[in-house]
């Protein structure tokens, strides 16, 4: 039995070590390399052309879905196109999202890992490799399956489709402590971007959005309630606790979160602030 070549990509060292230990105990898998983030994942896939990639969904900066999109782009750009590996997701997603993986014939492992489940995932990949023919890194419809997965996850995260443009979803998905929480937009105080990661702050907790820019996030938010007060901040108008005069006719906003965060208002948005509160 030929060993399956594999990569392990996870930002948690303990998770990588645990999965490597379980794969060694299962046997038949040759782990070529390990990576700690999305950028390393794309480079390692291009370098090693593995049969299989164990890919963490929730990584800071470039998450697992962004990795897949980048690998697909590079695959299509190749002449001839390079074959795609199989992906097995390592995730703490709620069951509704796990069902999305099943529908799209993409396997998953829930954290903490279970040896029997790891064995099952490896055997499913082995069967697909056999079905795709020897030497093939993925079954012929792998790209179509991944495309369907990404589209389905976009819908489950509440991103509006073409027929729904202009109608913001009532809830937003926020990642907090490895859980996906459905949050009423009214509960959100503000969102801020820092080094490519968008923080979403409510009155009771803080999490992250899977959106990559504040512009993308604004497309999901109710425009009657949320306002881009500064290039780095989107605020919920109903969650502004205090408007404070600041340096040279500018203003700061004190928000209604636990820390009563102070957010600057850009000069370009000062007029809008005055209109909102009749200043």
pLDDT at 261 over 70: yes
pLDDT at 165 over 70: no
Q: What is the pLDDT of residues 6-45, one digit of tens each?
A: 999 998 899 999 999 999 999 999 999 999 998 899 999 9
Q: What is the pLDDT of residues 34-44, one digit of tens each?
A: 999 988 999 99
CATH of domain 4-156: 3.40.50.2300
Cα separation, 51 vs 18, in Å, equals: 20
More confident residue, 179 or 37: 37
> How confident is residue 279, by pLDDT bands cut at 50, 70 and 90?
low
> How confident is residue 156, by pLDDT bands cut at 50, 70 and 90?
very low
State residue 108's pLDDT score.
75
* Topology (CATH level 3) of domain 170-277: OB fold (Dihydrolipoamide Acetyltransferase, E2P) (2.40.50)
The whole-model pTM stands at 0.52
State residue 54's pLDDT score.
94
In the chain, where are the structural domains located? 4-156, 170-277
Q: What is the pLDDT of residues 92-138, one digit of tens each?
A: 655 445 554 544 445 778 778 889 989 999 998 898 888 874 333 44
Q: Name the most confidently modeled range: 80-84, 145-149, 201-205.
A: 201-205
Mean of the per-residue pLDDT values of the chain: 80
How many other C-beta atoms lie within 10 A of the C-beta of residue 32? Answer: 15
State residue 193's pLDDT score.
92
Which of these, 248, 250, 217, 210, lies nearest to 235 by C-alpha position?
217
- CA-based torsion, 173, 179, 184, 186: positive or negative: negative
More confident residue, 257 or 141: 257
Which of these, 85, 101, 90, 83, lies nearest to 149 by C-alpha position?
101
127-136, 164-173, 180-189, 231-240: range with lowest mean pLDDT? 164-173
State residue 107's pLDDT score.
73
């Amino acid at each position: 039995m030929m060993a399956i070549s594999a990569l392990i990509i996870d930002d948690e060292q303990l998770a990588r070590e645990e999965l490597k230990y379980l794969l060694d105990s299962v046997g038949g898998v040759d782990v070529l390399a390990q990576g700690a983030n999305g950028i390393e994942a794309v480079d390692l896939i291009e370098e090693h052309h593995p049969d299989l990639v164990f890919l963490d969904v929730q990584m800071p900066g470039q998450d697992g879905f962004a990795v897949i999109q980048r690998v697909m782009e590079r695959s299509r750009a190749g002449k001839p196109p390079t074959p795609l590996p199989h992906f097995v997701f390592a995730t703490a997603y709620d069951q509704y999202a796990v069902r999305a993986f099943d529908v799209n014939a993409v396997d998953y492992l829930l954290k903490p890992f279970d040896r029997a489940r790891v064995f099952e995932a490896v055997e499913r990949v082995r069967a697909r490799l056999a079905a795709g023919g020897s030497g093939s890194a993925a079954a012929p419809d792998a790209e179509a399956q991944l495309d369907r997965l990404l589209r389905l996850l976009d819908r489950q995260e509440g991103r509006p489709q073409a027929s729904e443009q202009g109608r913001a979803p009532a809830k937003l998905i926020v990642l907090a402590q490895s859980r996906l929480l459905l949050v009423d937009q009214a509960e959100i105080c503000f969102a801020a971007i820092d080094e490519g990661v968008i923080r979403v702050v409510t009155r009771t907790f803080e999490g992250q959005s899977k959106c990559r820019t504040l512009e993308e996030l604004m497309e999901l938010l109710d425009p009657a309630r949320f306002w881009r007060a500064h290039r780095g901040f989107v605020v919920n108008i109903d969650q502004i606790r205090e408007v404070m005069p600041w340096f040279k006719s500018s203003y700061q906003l004190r928000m209604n979160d636990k820390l009563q965060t102070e957010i600057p208002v850009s000069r370009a948005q000062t007029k809008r602030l005055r209109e909102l509160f009749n200043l």
